Amino acid sequence: MILKLFITLVSYLLANNVFAEELVAQLSKDEVAITANFDGSEIFIYGAIKRDGPTNSNSPLEVLITVSGPEKPINVRRKSKRALIWVNTESIEIDSAPSFYAIASTGNLEEVINNTEDLRHKVSINRTIRSVGNYEKIKNAEDFTGALIRIRQKNNLYQELDNSISLIDNTLFATNITLPANLIEGDYKIRFFLIRDGKILDHLSINIPVNKVGLERWIFDLSRKSPFVYALLSLFIAISSGWIASTVFRYIRV
């Protein structure tokens, strides 16, 4: 019985030329190093679509790539003017929001993926932000999420990169993702989606670490592991800088 079902399935696949299409992807670097003069970085992302054979579908393939930084909770506050003074009047706590998020696609995002797949895989920026319970407590709570997105877009931390992935012969794809200077440390998750007619056919993910190195790493570790020594060192540097500056000014005056 099982053999008959297997033969029937194989016969169907061969008769209709239905073959699996899978993603193969790679990055131009294995890690991003944050140094003392770090002013941002760029990741070249490339890959291919692997097939077992020809496909009979006339619908074009789409590729979508997301890059997500570490997720953290955040408080978003609304300011209002009270007696000529701007004060915080309302706030919500967003349970989880990526510190960095970029989404690149071969076309316009709304046309590449349907709402059901977007909701299931949390692809678009607003889907990645979780704010549980706030919509019942505060009227127009979605305005706070929108404000957070606008602020981070202004700081280049949230990026929507429509039509930024080049797809050659429905097989080879490539794009560049620019990482700003104000990154935080952690593992950044890069997700790849292969899509046709708005539905995801295949997906995979790769992690890339973003870490401080060199003097930046030494100072950061010192401040966390030996805060007293770090404070003494900071005080010594401040006093030394002031003494050197005053000496130079006295020498110039003379």
pTM: 0.75
* Cβ 149 vs Cβ 125: under 8 Å: yes
Distances (CA, A) of 18 to 11, 195, 200: 10, 16, 16
The reply to whether CATH 2.60.40.3880 applies to domain 2-212 is yes
The whole-number pLDDT of residue 213 equals 67
Task: Please write down the long-range contacts of 212-217, taking CB distance under 8 Å and 24 or more positions apart.
Answer: 212/33, 212/34, 212/35, 212/185, 213/33, 213/34, 213/35, 214/35, 214/36, 215/35, 215/36, 216/34, 216/35, 216/36, 216/38
Least confident of 9-18, 29-38, 195-204, 212-221: 9-18
- pLDDT of 220 higher than 70: no
Mean pLDDT of the chain: 81
Determine which helix (DSSP H) or strand (DSSP E) holds 129, and give its type and residue range: none
| Interior angle at CA 86, CA 85 and CA 92, nearest 5 | 150
135-153: pLDDT as tens digits: 556 666 678 888 889 999 9
Amino acid at 222: L
pLDDT at 217 over 80: no
Q: Which of 253 and 156 is assigned the larger pLDDT? A: 156
DSSP 120: H
Letter string b/e over residues 197-231, b meaning 16 or more CB atoms within 10 A of that residue's CB: ebebbebeeeebebebeeebeeeeeeeeeeeeebe
Q: Does residue 248 register a pLDDT over 90?
A: no
Task: Report pLDDT for 114.
Answer: 95
Confidence at residue 7, expressed as pLDDT on a 0 to 100 scale: 45
Comparing CA positions, the residue from 56, 24, 13 lying closest to residue 173 is 24
Which residue type occupies 60? P
How is the chain split into domains, by residue range? 2-212, 214-254
The least confident of 9-13, 42-46, 50-54, 209-213 is: 9-13
User: Quick one: average pLDDT of 2-13?
Assistant: 44
